[in-house]
Structure 1
Amino acid sequence: MKKIEVFVEKANDGTYWGSTQNLPGGVSSYGNSFDELKQNLKAAFKDYLEVGRKLNENWVQEIEQLTEFEYQLDIASFFKLLPIKISAIAEKTGINPSLMRQYASGKANVSEKRAREIEKAIHELGEDLLSVSF
C-alpha cells in the first residue's frame, strides 16, 4: 500500500517541520519534538480529508485509504533528531568518522549513493536493536 511521504526538517530553533510530498495540495505541520510533529501532522491530515470531502474533491477516496506515514529526513536532520553515535555509523559504513561528522552537521554534501549506504547501515542497526530483548 502507498504511504504518505513526509519530508522532515529540524529548524535551528529546535522546531520540527514536516510536509507531505505525494498528496494533492499537500499537508504540513510542525512540533516542538518529533513526536509532537507526528501527532500534529496526523491531525492536519484528518482536517485535510474533511475539507476534501466537504468540497467533494475527486482525490479523497484514494487518499483516505492511506494510513501509514513515512518520514524522510536529510542526513543532518537525522543526526539532529536522534542521539546516535556518529562514529558507530561511520564504522558500520566504512566512512571516515571525520567525513561522517561533516555529513551529520550539513557541512559536506552527501551523494545519493553515499546517502543510500548510510541509510542501509542505519536500517541494519535498527534491525539489530529490534532483535534484542531483555
Structure 2
Amino acid sequence: MKEIKIIIEKSSDSFGAYAENVSGIYGAGDTAEECKQSILDAIDTLKELDNCPGELLDDYYLTYKFDAVSLLNYYKGIFTNSALEKMTGINQKQIQHYTSGHRKPRVEQREKIEKALHSLGKELLAVEL
C-alpha cells in the first residue's frame, strides 16, 4: 500500500494543501476540514482523467502533515491550551504563541507536541466501553 503525504499549511485567510510525493494533487479551503475534502475531490478528479498518477491506481492511504500553526488551530476546539500543557509540558502561553503564529516552535517543541498527540492516540485506541 502506497503512502501519499499531504502537507497542510495555513495562510492568513485559508488553508492550502498539496501532496508531497505525488504530482497534481492540490487542495484549499477556509478550514482544514474543507482543505482535506478538497484533496479527496482532487484525487477523485485525477482518477477520472487519463493521466492519473500510478500511485492513485494502486492501494494507497493518506497521511497529513501540518505545520504547527495549522495543527494547533485545527484542534483548537478539541484541545485547550491547558490540556496541551498537561500533555506536552509546554507552557500555555508558549502554546498560544505557536497557535497565533507569533512564534514558531523549535524542532524539540514540535517533537514534544507530535509525541504527546501520538501517545494520546495510542491510549485512545486501547480504550473499550
Which is higher, the Rg of structure 1 or of structure 2? 1
In structure 2, stretches of 5+ residues that fail to align are none
The residue type equivalent to 1:3 in the other structure is: E
Distance in 2 separating the partners of 1:78 and 1:102: 13
In structure 2, the residue matched to 1:90 is 85
- Paired residues in the alignment total 127
SS of equivalent residue, structure 1 residue 70: strand
- The match for 2:64 among 48, 71, 80 is 71
Contact 2:9–2:66 (8 Å) recurs in 1: yes
CA distances 1:24-73 after superposition (whole Å, capped 9, x unpaired): 3x31112344333323211211222443xx24x7xx33442243111111
CA distance in 1, matches of 2:104, 2:31: 26
The answer to whether the 8 A contact 2:22-2:55 is kept is no
Q: Superposition RMSD on alpha carbons, in Å?
A: 2.3
CA–CA separation in structure 2 for the residues paired with 1:69 and 1:6:
7
Alignment of 1:14-25 (within 5 A): 15-24=14-23
Q: Within 1, Cα distance between the matches of 2:73 and 2:88?
A: 19
Q: Is the 8 A contact 2:28 2:35 kept in 1?
A: yes
Q: Mark the runs of 5 or more structure 1 residues left unpaired by the alignment.
A: none
Q: CA deviation at 1:132?
A: 4.0
The aligned counterpart of 2:100 is 105
With structure 2 as the length reference, what TM-score do the two structures score?
Answer: 0.79
Relative to structure 1, the CA distance from residue 103 to residue 132 in structure 2 (aligned partners, 3 Å threshold; closer, same or farther) is same
1:90 touches 1:96 (CA, 8 Å); kept in 2? yes
Deviations 1:72-105 (A, max 9, x none): 1111111211121122222222222222221222
